[in-house]
Amino acid sequence: MKPGARMASAMEALEEMEANWTEGGRAPADAVLNQYFRQRRFIGSKDRGEISRVVYAVLRNEAALNWQLHQGGLPADPRGRVLAEAVLLGGAELEDMKALCDGQQYCLPRLSEPELGWIKQQARQPLLTDAMPPAVRHHFPEWLTPRLESVFGDQLPDAMAALNEEASVDLRVNTLKTSRDELVVALQDAGLEPELTPHSTLGVRLHKRGSLFATEAFRAGWFEMQDEGSQLVAALAQAKPGDKGVDFCAGAGGKTLALSAQMENRGRILAWDTSGKRLGQMKPRLGRAGVSNVQARILKSERDNVVKRHRDSADWVLLDVPCTGTGTWRRSPDLRRRTTLEALAEVQAHQRAILESAARLVKSSGRLIYATCSILPEENEQQVEAFLGVHDSFTRIGDDLRLYPHTHGTDGFYGAVLQKA
């Protein structure tokens, strides 16, 4: 594809995302982009890579791009953002932009007079300026300002900068099949430049991206992709061989697989979720990893009758509850604009309902692990404290887990361990 055609494709993909979200859809950016490429199989891998780069650069810097466009009197729409990304982040100048927007087939229409004037004025200028409001300069929704300031204080700029960087590629070794040292050697042989993660004893971080899923180590089930923070959350369960545990919000099974390895594939894990689609993604992962002690089930709701049948029977229950995902902005920058005050209130209510129902599963002296990939106290400490306020049979064990990209190099995670008397 010509560079101008790539730019036009990035704009089209952003338009599809915009349409989905405007109509009330909740499809994440990566799902919309994957669907866009599936419908255009003629786009080659290098072109897909460049289109994806532009799309994610726009999503990561959307507030600042919009601000610059508004200052110049241009519409902050997908076309405007793509043009602004090329100029303010890509360093393109006026003649470059004229060549990219030449009006030829598959390329963007020619630049308008206002666009020409704006590009001429903005060429070689930085994206960020001191005149921008803090929420724009640091890439977060303005309504979150007091909440984020209460969490990070004067570290807010560093925290938000880290949440706007591209996430690392972290792997968790599958100890059912190999050791971390053996995995590192296999990845080195594949030219992927691995290093040990600093916090998780099971993690490997890659400093070179490559065809990870084409490696023999992947086909043999030696590892799963899992952020180091997520690995540490799974470790909170302290699962042992022979346990009966429940992964109540199992999703596609990332933590379920980690828990099975902790249990040496002995005992029983009930992996539950209300989404059959997410649970369906778990089955091939279980087979590749050699896991046989997991029983998956689709729940009708958090108060499904199966919860009552397993009451007071679990050694541990892991609740990686649905949340705003504010700790994963570096992976899903589109969540910034899709997280609203109304969405926060909705997810808080859901979290409370899950906590209330799942707590019934824990047996005497068993553990309830509450976790989110959020950095907001309303979804974390405040939920745990509210639960403990009305459930005196549970007590908090140890310090809560709080992970942030700027201090730990992981996604933002929260975890608390509660024990039943």
Do residues 278 and 407 share a domain?
yes
Boundary of a domain, candidates 225, 242, 270: 225
Same structural domain for residues 306 and 385?
yes
Residue 352 lies in a domain: yes
Give a yes or no: residue 399 inside a domain: yes
Looking at the structure, tell me whether residues 267 and 386 fall in a common domain: yes
Q: Do 212 and 281 share a domain, yes or no?
A: no
| Helix orientation angle between 3-22 and 45-60, rounded to the nearest 10 degrees | 50
Structure tokens at 190: 């594949």
The residue among 84, 117, 132 that closes a domain is 132
Tell whether 137 is covered by a domain. no
CATH code of the domain covering residue 194: 3.30.70.1170
Count how many domains the chain has.
Answer: 3
Do 349 and 244 fall into the same domain?
yes
Residues 416 and 272 in one domain: yes
Tell me the two tokens of residue 351.
């979290």
What backbone torsions phi and psi does residue 254 show, to the nearest 5 degrees? Answer: -55, -50
Name the pTM for this structure: 0.94
Q: Cβ(230)–Cβ(205) under 8 Å? A: no
If asked whether residues 239 and 197 sit together in one domain, one would say: no
Which of 116, 132, 148 is the endpoint of a domain? 132
Question: What is the CB-side half-sphere exposure of residue 71 using CA atoms within 13 A?
Answer: 17
- Residue 160 falls inside a structural domain: no
Q: Is residue 164 part of a domain?
A: no
**DSSP string of 26-72?**
---HHHHHHHHHHT-TTS-HHHHHHHHHHHHHHHHTHHHHHHHHHHT
Same domain as 177, residue 257:
no
Regarding whether 204 and 108 lie in a shared domain, the answer is no
Same domain, 204 and 304: no
Residue 163: inside a domain, yes or no?
A: no
Question: Within a domain: residue 190?
Answer: yes
Q: Where are the alpha helices (DSSP H) in 138-275?
A: 145-152, 156-163, 180-189, 216-219, 228-235, 254-262
How many CB atoms are closer than 10 A to CB 237?
25
For residue 276, the surrounding DSSP H or E stretch is helix 276-280
CA distance 383 to 398: 17
Residue whose tokens read 């109304």: 342
DSSP summary character for residue 269: E
> Residue 153 domain-assigned?
no
Instruction: Identify whether residues 103 and 185 lie together within a single domain.
Output: no
Alpha carbon 263 to its chain's center:
26
For the chain, 421 residues long, give each residue's pLDDT as a single digit of tens.
999 999 999 999 999 999 988 877 788 999 999 999 999 999 999 999 999 999 999 999 999 999 999 999 999 999 999 999 999 999 999 999 999 999 999 999 999 999 999 999 999 999 999 999 999 999 999 999 999 999 999 999 999 999 999 999 999 999 999 999 999 999 999 999 999 999 999 999 998 888 899 999 999 999 999 999 999 999 999 999 999 999 999 999 999 999 999 999 999 999 999 999 999 999 999 999 999 999 999 999 999 999 999 999 999 999 999 999 999 999 999 999 889 999 999 999 999 999 999 999 999 999 999 999 999 999 999 999 999 999 999 999 999 999 999 999 999 999 999 999 9
Tokens 């180091």 belong to residue: 228
- Parallel, antiparallel or unpaired: strands 314-320 and 294-298: unpaired
* Burial bucket for residue 166 (CB in 10 Å: 0-12, 13-18, 19+): exposed
Per residue in 221-260, pLDDT tens?
Answer: 999 999 999 999 999 999 999 999 999 999 999 999 999 9
Query: What residue numbers bound the domain in which 208 lies?
Result: 169-225
Q: Are residues 88 and 186 in the same domain?
A: no
CATH of the domain at 290: 3.40.50.150
Query: Using alpha carbons only, what angle is made at residue 321 by residues 328 and 384, rounded to the nearest 5 degrees?
Result: 105
